[in-house]
Amino acid sequence: MRYLLTAVALSNAIVLAVASPVAPQVDVVRVLYTFTDGAYPENIAVRANGEIIINSVTNGRVYTIDPTLRSPKAHTLVQFDPQLANSTLGIVEYAPDKFAVNTALINFLNLSAKSVAVWSMDLKGRDKGSSALVKPHKIADIPNAGVANGLTSLNGRILLAADSKFGLIWGIDIHTGSVRVAADAEALKAPDLDGVPVGVNGVHASRDGSRLFFSNTNTRRVSEVRVRHDGTFIGNITTVAELPTGQLGADDFIVGRDRSLWVTGIPNFVNKFSPDGTVVVLDSFNNTVGPVPSGVSNPTAAAFGRGSKEQEKILYVTASWGVVYAVDTSRV
Protein backbone atom coordinates (compact mmCIF):
# COMPACT_ATOMS: atom_id res chain seq x y z
CA MET A 1 0.00 0.00 0.00
CA ARG A 2 1.32 3.44 -0.94
CA TYR A 3 0.20 5.88 1.75
CA LEU A 4 -0.83 8.94 -0.20
CA LEU A 5 0.21 11.57 2.27
CA THR A 6 3.78 10.32 2.72
CA ALA A 7 6.75 11.04 0.59
CA VAL A 8 2.90 -18.41 -9.19
CA ALA A 9 4.67 -20.69 -7.10
CA LEU A 10 8.44 -20.87 -6.95
CA SER A 11 10.27 -24.15 -7.22
CA ASN A 12 13.52 -22.62 -6.04
CA ALA A 13 14.47 -19.55 -4.05
CA ILE A 14 14.92 -16.32 -5.97
CA VAL A 15 18.54 -15.17 -6.02
CA LEU A 16 19.12 -11.70 -4.59
CA ALA A 17 19.55 -9.46 -7.60
CA VAL A 18 22.87 -7.63 -7.50
CA ALA A 19 23.37 -6.72 -11.13
CA SER A 20 23.02 -3.11 -12.21
CA PRO A 21 19.50 -2.21 -13.37
CA VAL A 22 18.96 -1.92 -17.09
CA ALA A 23 16.25 0.02 -18.85
CA PRO A 24 13.92 -1.81 -21.26
CA GLN A 25 14.57 -1.13 -24.95
CA VAL A 26 10.93 -0.91 -26.02
CA ASP A 27 7.84 0.82 -24.79
CA VAL A 28 5.85 -1.93 -23.12
CA VAL A 29 3.56 0.02 -20.79
CA ARG A 30 0.11 1.34 -21.72
CA VAL A 31 -2.80 2.81 -19.80
CA LEU A 32 -5.66 0.31 -19.62
CA TYR A 33 -8.14 2.38 -17.62
CA THR A 34 -8.35 5.62 -15.65
CA PHE A 35 -10.88 6.04 -12.84
CA THR A 36 -12.84 9.28 -12.68
CA ASP A 37 -14.87 8.66 -9.51
CA GLY A 38 -12.12 9.30 -6.96
CA ALA A 39 -10.95 5.70 -6.76
CA TYR A 40 -7.30 5.13 -5.87
CA PRO A 41 -6.54 1.53 -6.87
CA GLU A 42 -4.70 -0.28 -4.10
CA ASN A 43 -4.65 -3.97 -4.94
CA ILE A 44 -5.57 -6.33 -7.74
CA ALA A 45 -6.58 -9.92 -8.44
CA VAL A 46 -7.63 -11.69 -11.63
CA ARG A 47 -10.44 -14.20 -12.07
CA ALA A 48 -9.94 -17.40 -14.05
CA ASN A 49 -12.06 -15.91 -16.84
CA GLY A 50 -9.61 -13.00 -17.18
CA GLU A 51 -11.69 -10.33 -15.46
CA ILE A 52 -9.66 -8.00 -13.23
CA ILE A 53 -10.77 -7.20 -9.67
CA ILE A 54 -9.49 -3.93 -8.21
CA ASN A 55 -9.71 -2.57 -4.67
CA SER A 56 -9.83 1.16 -3.94
CA VAL A 57 -8.19 2.61 -0.85
CA THR A 58 -10.30 5.78 -0.91
CA ASN A 59 -13.97 4.92 -1.28
CA GLY A 60 -14.62 1.43 0.08
CA ARG A 61 -15.30 -0.05 -3.33
CA VAL A 62 -14.25 -3.14 -5.26
CA TYR A 63 -14.41 -2.98 -9.05
CA THR A 64 -14.22 -5.33 -12.02
CA ILE A 65 -12.75 -4.56 -15.44
CA ASP A 66 -12.67 -6.72 -18.56
CA PRO A 67 -9.19 -5.96 -19.93
CA THR A 68 -9.86 -7.62 -23.30
CA LEU A 69 -12.34 -4.95 -24.41
CA ARG A 70 -11.22 -2.19 -26.76
CA SER A 71 -12.66 0.41 -24.36
CA PRO A 72 -12.76 -1.22 -20.91
CA LYS A 73 -15.25 -0.05 -18.30
CA ALA A 74 -15.14 -0.39 -14.53
CA HIS A 75 -18.14 -1.88 -12.77
CA THR A 76 -18.66 -1.62 -9.04
CA LEU A 77 -18.64 -5.13 -7.61
CA VAL A 78 -19.02 -4.23 -3.92
CA GLN A 79 -19.70 -0.94 -2.17
CA PHE A 80 -18.97 -1.31 1.52
CA ASP A 81 -20.98 0.63 4.06
CA PRO A 82 -19.01 3.87 4.61
CA GLN A 83 -19.63 3.46 8.34
CA LEU A 84 -17.69 0.19 8.17
CA ALA A 85 -15.00 0.82 5.58
CA ASN A 86 -13.59 3.67 3.54
CA SER A 87 -10.77 1.48 2.25
CA THR A 88 -10.47 -1.88 0.56
CA LEU A 89 -6.90 -3.16 0.63
CA GLY A 90 -5.44 -6.64 0.09
CA ILE A 91 -7.28 -9.21 -2.00
CA VAL A 92 -6.70 -12.89 -2.74
CA GLU A 93 -8.53 -15.81 -4.36
CA TYR A 94 -8.70 -18.50 -1.65
CA ALA A 95 -10.99 -20.95 -3.52
CA PRO A 96 -12.15 -21.07 -7.14
CA ASP A 97 -13.85 -17.70 -7.80
CA LYS A 98 -14.00 -16.88 -4.08
CA PHE A 99 -12.02 -13.85 -3.01
CA ALA A 100 -11.13 -12.46 0.39
CA VAL A 101 -10.55 -8.73 0.90
CA ASN A 102 -9.24 -6.59 3.76
CA THR A 103 -11.25 -3.49 4.71
CA ALA A 104 -10.90 -0.70 7.25
CA LEU A 105 -11.78 2.84 8.23
CA ILE A 106 -8.37 4.48 7.76
CA ASN A 107 -7.05 7.86 8.84
CA PHE A 108 -4.14 8.45 6.47
CA LEU A 109 -2.78 11.39 8.44
CA ASN A 110 -1.51 9.16 11.22
CA LEU A 111 -1.91 5.70 9.66
CA SER A 112 -4.56 4.59 12.10
CA ALA A 113 -7.47 2.31 11.37
CA LYS A 114 -10.73 1.18 12.90
CA SER A 115 -13.13 -1.61 12.02
CA VAL A 116 -10.40 -3.72 10.39
CA ALA A 117 -12.00 -6.83 8.92
CA VAL A 118 -11.69 -9.55 6.28
CA TRP A 119 -14.63 -10.28 3.98
CA SER A 120 -15.43 -12.91 1.37
CA MET A 121 -16.87 -12.32 -2.11
CA ASP A 122 -18.32 -15.32 -3.93
CA LEU A 123 -18.24 -14.77 -7.70
CA LYS A 124 -19.24 -18.26 -8.78
CA GLY A 125 -21.68 -18.06 -11.66
CA ARG A 126 -21.09 -14.35 -12.18
CA ASP A 127 -20.77 -13.51 -15.87
CA LYS A 128 -17.78 -11.60 -17.11
CA GLY A 129 -18.68 -7.95 -17.50
CA SER A 130 -21.70 -8.09 -15.20
CA SER A 131 -22.60 -4.84 -13.44
CA ALA A 132 -24.60 -6.54 -10.68
CA LEU A 133 -23.46 -5.92 -7.11
CA VAL A 134 -22.25 -8.79 -4.95
CA LYS A 135 -23.09 -9.03 -1.26
CA PRO A 136 -19.95 -9.87 0.75
CA HIS A 137 -20.00 -11.78 4.00
CA LYS A 138 -17.62 -11.15 6.86
CA ILE A 139 -14.99 -13.78 7.62
CA ALA A 140 -13.58 -12.08 10.71
CA ASP A 141 -12.86 -8.82 12.49
CA ILE A 142 -9.22 -8.05 13.37
CA PRO A 143 -9.83 -5.73 16.33
CA ASN A 144 -6.18 -5.31 17.36
CA ALA A 145 -4.79 -4.63 13.89
CA GLY A 146 -3.00 -1.44 12.93
CA VAL A 147 -3.64 -1.58 9.18
CA ALA A 148 -4.32 -4.95 7.53
CA ASN A 149 -2.79 -4.43 4.11
CA GLY A 150 -1.58 -7.26 1.83
CA LEU A 151 -3.46 -10.56 1.91
CA THR A 152 -2.63 -14.09 0.79
CA SER A 153 -4.09 -17.58 1.09
CA LEU A 154 -1.71 -20.06 2.64
CA ASN A 155 -3.55 -23.33 2.11
CA GLY A 156 -7.20 -22.62 1.33
CA ARG A 157 -8.06 -22.34 5.01
CA ILE A 158 -5.60 -19.87 6.53
CA LEU A 159 -5.36 -16.31 5.28
CA LEU A 160 -2.31 -14.21 6.13
CA ALA A 161 -2.76 -10.44 6.39
CA ALA A 162 0.15 -8.00 6.55
CA ASP A 163 -0.12 -5.35 9.26
CA SER A 164 1.87 -2.44 7.84
CA LYS A 165 1.64 -0.32 10.97
CA PHE A 166 2.58 -2.85 13.66
CA GLY A 167 4.89 -4.98 11.51
CA LEU A 168 2.97 -8.21 12.07
CA ILE A 169 1.29 -10.90 10.05
CA TRP A 170 -2.17 -11.95 11.17
CA GLY A 171 -3.46 -15.48 10.60
CA ILE A 172 -7.20 -15.79 9.91
CA ASP A 173 -9.03 -19.11 9.80
CA ILE A 174 -11.58 -18.87 7.01
CA HIS A 175 -13.84 -21.57 8.51
CA THR A 176 -13.88 -20.53 12.15
CA GLY A 177 -13.11 -16.80 11.90
CA SER A 178 -10.43 -17.10 14.57
CA VAL A 179 -7.60 -14.55 14.41
CA ARG A 180 -4.10 -14.75 15.86
CA VAL A 181 -0.64 -13.26 15.32
CA ALA A 182 1.05 -15.67 12.93
CA ALA A 183 4.40 -13.86 12.76
CA ASP A 184 6.18 -11.05 14.53
CA ALA A 185 9.74 -10.49 13.27
CA GLU A 186 12.14 -7.60 12.86
CA ALA A 187 12.06 -7.94 9.06
CA LEU A 188 8.35 -7.07 9.17
CA LYS A 189 8.88 -3.79 11.02
CA ALA A 190 9.40 -0.31 9.62
CA PRO A 191 12.73 1.31 10.50
CA ASP A 192 12.66 4.58 12.43
CA LEU A 193 12.39 7.05 9.56
CA ASP A 194 10.87 10.47 9.12
CA GLY A 195 7.26 10.42 8.01
CA VAL A 196 4.74 7.61 8.41
CA PRO A 197 6.38 4.22 9.07
CA VAL A 198 5.19 1.47 6.73
CA GLY A 199 6.56 -2.02 7.32
CA VAL A 200 5.38 -5.29 5.78
CA ASN A 201 3.17 -4.52 2.80
CA GLY A 202 2.56 -7.25 0.23
CA VAL A 203 2.42 -10.96 1.14
CA HIS A 204 2.29 -13.91 -1.25
CA ALA A 205 2.45 -17.61 -0.38
CA SER A 206 3.96 -20.21 -2.67
CA ARG A 207 1.43 -22.51 -4.29
CA ASP A 208 2.27 -25.39 -1.95
CA GLY A 209 2.00 -23.13 1.10
CA SER A 210 5.51 -23.91 2.30
CA ARG A 211 7.01 -20.46 1.87
CA LEU A 212 5.97 -16.85 2.22
CA PHE A 213 7.29 -13.84 0.34
CA PHE A 214 6.74 -10.36 1.72
CA SER A 215 7.72 -6.80 0.91
CA ASN A 216 8.67 -4.14 3.44
CA THR A 217 8.00 -0.62 2.22
CA ASN A 218 10.50 1.31 4.31
CA THR A 219 13.36 -1.19 4.02
CA ARG A 220 12.77 -1.41 0.23
CA ARG A 221 13.15 -5.20 0.30
CA VAL A 222 11.30 -8.38 -0.58
CA SER A 223 12.06 -11.36 1.65
CA GLU A 224 11.35 -15.07 1.75
CA VAL A 225 10.79 -17.42 4.69
CA ARG A 226 9.57 -20.98 5.20
CA VAL A 227 6.27 -21.24 7.05
CA ARG A 228 4.20 -23.84 8.87
CA HIS A 229 0.60 -24.61 7.96
CA ASP A 230 -0.58 -21.86 10.34
CA GLY A 231 1.74 -19.20 8.92
CA THR A 232 4.34 -19.19 11.69
CA PHE A 233 7.90 -18.74 10.42
CA ILE A 234 10.51 -21.51 10.24
CA GLY A 235 14.21 -20.70 10.18
CA ASN A 236 15.93 -17.68 8.71
CA ILE A 237 14.41 -14.89 6.66
CA THR A 238 16.25 -14.27 3.38
CA THR A 239 16.29 -11.06 1.35
CA VAL A 240 15.52 -11.96 -2.27
CA ALA A 241 15.31 -8.48 -3.82
CA GLU A 242 16.20 -4.92 -2.91
CA LEU A 243 15.00 -1.92 -4.88
CA PRO A 244 17.54 0.04 -6.92
CA THR A 245 18.90 3.31 -5.57
CA GLY A 246 16.51 6.21 -6.05
CA GLN A 247 13.34 4.27 -5.35
CA LEU A 248 11.80 5.34 -2.06
CA GLY A 249 9.88 2.24 -1.03
CA ALA A 250 8.55 -1.15 -2.05
CA ASP A 251 4.81 -1.66 -2.31
CA ASP A 252 3.23 -4.94 -3.46
CA PHE A 253 4.65 -7.47 -5.93
CA ILE A 254 3.93 -10.66 -7.83
CA VAL A 255 5.96 -13.74 -8.77
CA GLY A 256 6.02 -14.93 -12.38
CA ARG A 257 5.92 -18.50 -13.61
CA ASP A 258 9.59 -18.21 -14.59
CA ARG A 259 10.44 -17.27 -10.96
CA SER A 260 10.90 -13.61 -11.89
CA LEU A 261 9.83 -11.14 -9.23
CA TRP A 262 7.90 -8.01 -10.24
CA VAL A 263 8.00 -5.34 -7.52
CA THR A 264 6.23 -1.98 -7.55
CA GLY A 265 8.49 0.83 -6.40
CA ILE A 266 7.60 4.25 -5.04
CA PRO A 267 7.12 6.68 -6.68
CA ASN A 268 6.97 5.58 -10.30
CA PHE A 269 8.50 2.18 -11.00
CA VAL A 270 7.92 -1.52 -11.59
CA ASN A 271 11.04 -3.68 -11.31
CA LYS A 272 11.64 -7.11 -12.80
CA PHE A 273 14.13 -9.18 -10.79
CA SER A 274 15.17 -12.23 -12.79
CA PRO A 275 16.62 -15.40 -11.18
CA ASP A 276 19.93 -14.73 -12.98
CA GLY A 277 20.34 -11.43 -11.11
CA THR A 278 19.26 -9.11 -13.92
CA VAL A 279 17.09 -6.16 -12.92
CA VAL A 280 14.92 -4.32 -15.44
CA VAL A 281 13.39 -1.04 -14.31
CA LEU A 282 10.17 0.11 -15.95
CA ASP A 283 9.62 3.82 -15.40
CA SER A 284 6.82 4.63 -17.86
CA PHE A 285 4.09 4.93 -15.24
CA ASN A 286 3.33 8.59 -15.85
CA ASN A 287 -0.31 9.54 -15.53
CA THR A 288 -1.09 12.29 -18.04
CA VAL A 289 -4.88 12.21 -17.82
CA GLY A 290 -5.78 11.76 -14.15
CA PRO A 291 -5.60 14.07 -11.09
CA VAL A 292 -1.91 13.42 -10.53
CA PRO A 293 0.86 15.76 -9.33
CA SER A 294 4.05 16.03 -11.38
CA GLY A 295 3.23 13.04 -13.57
CA VAL A 296 3.65 10.52 -10.73
CA SER A 297 1.47 7.41 -10.63
CA ASN A 298 2.67 5.48 -7.55
CA PRO A 299 2.22 1.84 -8.67
CA THR A 300 0.74 -0.18 -5.81
CA ALA A 301 0.24 -3.79 -6.92
CA ALA A 302 0.49 -6.14 -9.89
CA ALA A 303 -1.11 -9.35 -11.18
CA PHE A 304 -0.74 -11.44 -14.31
CA GLY A 305 -3.64 -11.92 -16.66
CA ARG A 306 -5.54 -15.19 -16.89
CA GLY A 307 -7.88 -16.86 -19.37
CA SER A 308 -5.50 -17.33 -22.32
CA LYS A 309 -1.80 -17.68 -23.09
CA GLU A 310 -1.74 -14.14 -24.43
CA GLN A 311 -3.35 -12.77 -21.29
CA GLU A 312 -0.83 -14.61 -19.11
CA LYS A 313 1.91 -12.47 -20.70
CA ILE A 314 0.23 -9.25 -19.56
CA LEU A 315 1.02 -7.77 -16.16
CA TYR A 316 -1.72 -5.50 -14.84
CA VAL A 317 -0.50 -2.77 -12.52
CA THR A 318 -2.62 -0.59 -10.25
CA ALA A 319 -1.51 2.93 -9.36
CA SER A 320 -2.80 5.03 -6.51
CA TRP A 321 -3.75 8.06 -8.60
CA GLY A 322 -6.55 6.23 -10.35
CA VAL A 323 -4.82 4.42 -13.20
CA VAL A 324 -4.57 0.78 -14.24
CA TYR A 325 -1.70 -0.13 -16.59
CA ALA A 326 -1.03 -3.12 -18.83
CA VAL A 327 2.56 -4.30 -19.30
CA ASP A 328 3.54 -6.66 -22.13
CA THR A 329 6.05 -8.80 -20.24
CA SER A 330 7.03 -10.72 -23.38
CA ARG A 331 8.94 -7.58 -24.42
CA VAL A 332 10.72 -6.96 -21.11
Confidence label for 10 from pLDDT (cuts 50, 70 and 90): very low
- Give residue-wise pLDDT tens across range 110-123: 778 899 999 999 99
Encode pLDDT of 23-69 as tens digits.
665 579 999 999 999 899 999 999 999 999 999 999 999 999 999 99
Q: Domain 21-331 sits in which CATH superfamily?
A: TolB, C-terminal domain (2.120.10.30)
> Looking at the predicted structure, is the pLDDT value of residue 19 above 90?
no
| Measured distance between the N- and C-terminal CA atoms of the chain, rounded to whole angstroms | 25
Q: Residue 6: which pLDDT band, with cuts at 50, 70 and 90?
A: very low
- Comparing 92 with 21, which gets the higher pLDDT? 92
**Lowest-confidence region among 110-119, 148-157, 241-250:** 110-119
What is the reported pTM? 0.92
- pLDDT above 70 coverage of the chain, percent: 89
Yes or no: say if 326 and 33 are a contact pair by the CB < 8 Å rule: no
Q: pLDDT by residue (tens digit) across 296-316?
A: 688 999 999 999 999 999 999
Q: What is the mean pLDDT of residues 154-183?
A: 96
Residue 141 has pLDDT above 60, yes or no: yes
